[in-house]
Structure 1
Amino acid sequence: MKLSISIICSLGITTVLAQHNLSWTPPGPDDVRGPCPMLNTLANHGILPHSGYNISQEITIKALSSAVNFTSNLAEFLFAFALTTNPEQNATVFNLHQLGTHDILEHDASLSRSDKFFNTSDAFNKDVFAETTSYWPGDVIDLQKAATSRHARALTSVGKNPSFTFSELARGFAHGEVAALPLVFGDRVAGTAPKDLVVSFFENERLPVDLGWKTPALAIGNLDLCEMTQRVINASGATLEQAQEILPCIDFDA
């Protein structure tokens, strides 16, 4: 099994946030943010540069491993995709607002952002997120609810956005986003996440430590993310052919 999609999150969170005095500050007028809630969150906490500028591979690995227990291999993989959004030749860093370049990593049918056709896709959109959460009744988000919200947002965008695009990379990325929720915020075995933690994270771009969240005790690697993404796709009722198109990282013949 190989990973060929990009995804845009308790080893050290207490230590990391203690070093920052549990600090959290919103972006200032000279700071930049992008369409990825997790990277924005880590910048708001100062785990990534608060400015949102000059994020290197070393900084990315340290931030993702310490804050959300991503393995270095997964963090390196994500950094490599993020780096492609920097238009400078031979770039070694990226800036958060560069992630908003349409149809590279940023994509239509976001769970929490409007399509770029209508407005900037960098900022949280309460109306878009209200649609997403309408498919999350109760206190727990399971894989069926996650898959339903993912599909519903795509249908809404298809119906409203005359420039709608959803590349192979975007499909994999979009499904991986909801797959990350149980891995980062909940129970990877059950495939569930507490709704209050997830909603607080999206709405505030802040790690929900005040609600009892802790960094996952088990590391999150390429295979973990890929397998959870497959579970999300399975919950959506996709056919084998559709699943292969959405998630090329899965070797279905293995």
Structure 2
Amino acid sequence: MFILYKVVHDLAFFTWDAGVTVVNLLTPSKDEGHIVPEGHPGFGGTWPEYIPPKEGDSRCSCPALNALANHGILPRDGKNIQFKEMGRVIRTTYNFSATFCYFVPHYAAEMLGKDYGKDTIDLQEIDLHNGIEHDASLVREDAALSPDQSKPHVKYITELLASASGKDENGNAVLTAQDLSKFSAKRRADARELNKDFTLDFFHKVFGSTNASTMLVAFGGRVKDLETWLLEERFPDGWETKIKSRLGMTFAKFNTTIAKVELGIDEKKYLEEKKKAT
């Protein structure tokens, strides 16, 4: 019965996502300054006060969720968060679609053996190894090397941002999909060498590229904004998501960026270039 439920559930979900994608194609995008709905935190680029986490607060390996807690959009202590509430604020803040904002918290609830509709989560619980958290992250050390996944790994983030090869229309440095693919290849190859317990199956490779792609779709790859978001886990003053779709970023649309990043990852090429350099 559970397998039948999963098949019906997933079929219904992806049909829903496809429908939202079609509506986005047929309707005008949101206007800048009005992507976050009026009355919600971040409307017009005005964000609630940023307060770094204090001792005892719950944080995780996800900058997107930590930033929400640091601004008080999610509970500041990062605890007892309803799965539905998590999805709701991801939607209003980052403008991901209702489908995306249902699927990710629902998956987290299933991963933890919790009831999506009734139970709550502390942010730290998301870091169940090889659930959503995975090895070769672009912004965290592997869990085997650094069990506390709540803090950004400054060296990796600094190196990632320094690798930006693009420019936007105003001449600002931006990360490209190719930059993320190259850095992902480096992280995966180096992690295999450094971490004797390294694992990274296909699902978590795609999850890693999904996380990386958020930097492109929500931030446009803009280095200055990503520096604040990744290192401080704070929204820059005046920032708003670059996702302008009327009903938000769907899986169907997001997958085009994810595939570009993942298919561009070439560990073998990275290792060959590393060998030549030495």
TM-score category of the 2 structures, normalised to the smaller one = 0.7 to 0.9
Question: In the aligned structure 2, how far is the partner of 1:203 from the partner of 1:60?
Answer: 22
Following superposition, the deviation at residue 135 of structure 1 comes to 2.8
8 A contact 1:13–1:214 mirrored in 2 = no
Following superposition, the deviation at residue 71 of structure 1 comes to 1.0
1:179 to 206, 209, 213: 213
Displacement over 4 Å in runs of 4+: 18-21, 87-91
8 A contact 1:37–1:202 mirrored in 2 = yes
Which ranges of structure 1 fall in alignment gaps of 5 or more residues?
4-9, 187-192, 239-254
Q: 1:28 to 1:137 in 2, by over 3 A?
A: same
120-129 vs 64-73, which moves further:
120-129
Question: In the aligned structure 1, how far is the partner of 2:135 from the partner of 2:35?
Answer: 33
| Corresponding residue of 2:155 | 127
| Corresponding residue of 1:79 | 105
8 A contact 2:127–2:149 mirrored in 1 = yes
Q: 1:21 to 1:204 in 2, by over 3 A?
A: closer
8 A contact 1:179–1:232 mirrored in 2 = yes
2:177 to 143, 146, 153: 143
Question: In the aligned structure 2, how far is the partner of 1:14 from the partner of 1:204?
Answer: 26
8 A contact 1:44–1:50 mirrored in 2 = yes
User: SS at the partner of 1:196?
Assistant: helix
Following superposition, the deviation at residue 85 of structure 1 comes to 4.5
Following superposition, the deviation at residue 106 of structure 1 comes to 0.6
| Corresponding residue of 1:246 | none
2:96 to 38, 45, 70: 70
1:43 aligns with 2:69: yes
Following superposition, the deviation at residue 159 of structure 1 comes to 1.1
User: SS at the partner of 2:157?
Assistant: helix
TM-score (ref. length: structure 2): 0.73
| Corresponding residue of 2:4 | none
8 A contact 2:47–2:235 mirrored in 1 = no
| Corresponding residue of 1:108 | 135
User: SS at the partner of 1:34?
Assistant: coil
1:221 aligns with 2:245: no
1:200 aligns with 2:234: no
Following superposition, the deviation at residue 115 of structure 1 comes to 0.7
Q: 1:180 to 1:89 in 2, by over 3 A?
A: closer
What pairs up with 1:150-165 in 2 under 5 angstroms? 150-165=184-199
| Corresponding residue of 2:124 | 97
Following superposition, the deviation at residue 33 of structure 1 comes to 0.2
| Corresponding residue of 1:248 | none
User: SS at the partner of 1:23?
Assistant: coil
Following superposition, the deviation at residue 133 of structure 1 comes to 3.0
Following superposition, the deviation at residue 84 of structure 1 comes to 3.5
Q: 1:235 to 1:16 in 2, by over 3 A?
A: same
What is the aligned-residue identity percentage? 23
Question: In the aligned structure 2, how far is the partner of 1:137 from the partner of 1:47?
Answer: 33
**Larger C-alpha radius of gyration, 1 or 2?**
2
Question: In the aligned structure 2, how far is the partner of 1:178 from the partner of 1:16?
Answer: 26
| Corresponding residue of 1:241 | none
TM-score (ref. length: structure 1): 0.79
User: SS at the partner of 1:102?
Assistant: coil
| Corresponding residue of 1:245 | none
135-144 vs 82-91, which moves further:
82-91
Following superposition, the deviation at residue 118 of structure 1 comes to 1.1
1:59-110 per-position Cα deviation (integer Å, ceiling 9, x unaligned): 1222011100111110110101222343567862221000111111111111
8 A contact 1:86–1:94 mirrored in 2 = no
8 A contact 2:36–2:240 mirrored in 1 = no
Opposite residue 173 of structure 1, the aligned amino acid is F
User: SS at the partner of 2:40?
Assistant: helix
RMSD of aligned Cα (Å): 2.5
Question: In the aligned structure 2, how far is the partner of 1:21 from the partner of 1:126?
Answer: 24
Opposite residue 220 of structure 1, the aligned amino acid is M
Following superposition, the deviation at residue 134 of structure 1 comes to 4.1
8 A contact 2:83–2:121 mirrored in 1 = no
User: SS at the partner of 1:17?
Assistant: coil
Question: In the aligned structure 1, how far is the partner of 2:68 from the partner of 2:174?
Answer: 24
8 A contact 1:82–1:94 mirrored in 2 = no
